[in-house]
Structure 1
């Protein structure tokens, strides 16, 4: 029996000491994007109440950009203006190694959907380098590692990530970590990715060693084509064969799905 919209269940991934993932299901992609946007605003406000600042790692893709568009709508509602956006650091989980003005860049899409509406200080936007700034993706990745270290607190190698948003491909890739690729076993925090099976083939990506330092990881997936990979990931697939299964926040891991993406999950009592 499949899970239904509105269900919230815990997925059993073994007794490994990590927070048990929570699964939240919304009826459709638009409702999913809207609910994630509302939760994100609340989470960033809570982080600022504790730390004075907040930090989020963005994802691209259709659902990731839809979330940002809904956040932009919330910003215009005075009752929702609870986040000091000038004190939010924006990072990305991966980026296409293309020119800065390319519509394929996650950064450019995020700016159009949200960031350009927020009047942000430039130092709060930590975009991964573009191909017209560095000759190779390896050089660009090394430069971005330097920025990550620059914004890390004393005694840490990486910045604090309050929320890290991720999407997932139908074959189970997340960020630019594809199944059975060198990236799936790369222990570096950020690295170049070449020969991706999905265009564009050259990218920069955070690795598991950086992703899994986030306090909360929110995996967002919509569409029936994602359902088999969602089911495999939450059944305990290995991170090498299905990279989306290898992510876990230090405080919480949430799988935020629409009904179609959740259609192959069993009910918790089954």
Structure 2
């Protein structure tokens, strides 16, 4: 696993602006190297803020949005267009404002989709879509430049919750039933898929996340703190505001300016 870097920002707005700028740079660099980029989106309040910041940033004009693939790390298994779906949020705050190629936007299936109300079949469908986009020699998923993850108050990431079956999974995508946070049914990427990315970013804002961030960064195991089990192949970045970083171990105190 790569060593993690930590960046602490004064507040949620500065954090959102910083994540947006960092994401734009990552996409530009990937396109300069390969002609395209592939990113995995997350949901939540801070995601909506950095989506909006990126959509409004002048640097968006430096990106060929038609050559960006958008995937999701997890999804609430709800009908298409439901406001609680991560896809709905991302479309409203980011994708609808950019000249993206609809064929390169890969939402997770909805509960009123082709598999009906069957999250296991929907997860298998998404796994098949990942495999269809895989690079030579990697049969289960495409190349990801960055996977972005929010961090829950219980240290969950994507929809991998502490002590839940998804913690132990090796399949690339699985259904989640009985999630401790509503809605109970979800679809999620698993650790092997998440950790295949070049970079993994863990993004947290607010004092309610402080204990979870500290737990994950203090050597907790993946069953107790799933956020502790994710790492990018080249970089793992914790991107925090000051409140989310407030309970960090003493070795990180110099970051709290």
Same fold (TM over 0.5): yes
| Contact in 1 for aligned 2:65/2:101 (Cα 8 Å) | no
- Superposition RMSD in Å: 1.1
Is residue 193 of structure 1 aligned with residue 176 of structure 2? Answer: yes
Change (3 A) 1:105 1:80: closer
Aligned to 1:223: 206
Task: Work out which of the residue numbers 88, 99, 112 in structure 2 matches 1:119.
Answer: 99
Deviations 1:61-99 (A, max 9, x none): 00111111111011xx2x552211110000000001100
Is residue 106 of structure 1 aligned with residue 86 of structure 2? Answer: yes
**Superposition pairs for residues 80-95 of structure 1, below 5 Å?**
80-95=60-75
Q: Distance in 1 between matches of 2:187 and 2:249?
A: 35
Aligned to 1:259: 242
Aligned to 1:64: 47
Q: Distance in 2 between matches of 1:80 and 1:140?
A: 33
Deviations 1:12-54 (A, max 9, x none): xxxxxx2110000000011101100001001100000001000
Q: Distance in 2 between matches of 1:216 and 1:21?
A: 10
Deviations 1:158-192 (A, max 9, x none): 10000110001111111000001111111111010
Is residue 24 of structure 1 aligned with residue 7 of structure 2? Answer: yes
Q: Distance in 2 between matches of 1:106 and 1:80?
A: 21
SS in 2 for 1:108: helix
Task: Work out which of the residue numbers 89, 109, 115 in structure 2 matches 1:129.
Answer: 109
Give the ranges of 4+ consecutive aligned residues of structure 1 lying more than 6 Å apart after TM superposition. Answer: none
Once the two structures are TM-superposed, the CA of residue 268 in structure 1 deviates from its matched residue by: 2.7
**Superposition pairs for residues 149-168 of structure 1, below 5 Å?**
149-157=131-139, 158-168=141-151
Q: Distance in 1 between matches of 2:179 and 2:28?
A: 36
Deviations 1:113-170 (A, max 9, x none): 0101112221110000000012200010111111001111121121000011000111
SS in 1 for 2:249: coil
Deviations 1:208-254 (A, max 9, x none): 01000000001000111111111111111001111011100000000
| Contact in 2 for aligned 1:59/1:65 (Cα 8 Å) | no
Residue ranges of structure 1 left out of the alignment (5+ in a row): 1-17
Is residue 179 of structure 1 aligned with residue 162 of structure 2? Answer: yes
| Contact in 1 for aligned 2:218/2:249 (Cα 8 Å) | no
Q: How many residues align?
A: 250
Residue ranges of structure 2 left out of the alignment (5+ in a row): none
Once the two structures are TM-superposed, the CA of residue 266 in structure 1 deviates from its matched residue by: 3.2
Task: Work out which of the residue numbers 209, 219, 233 in structure 1 matches 2:192.
Answer: 209
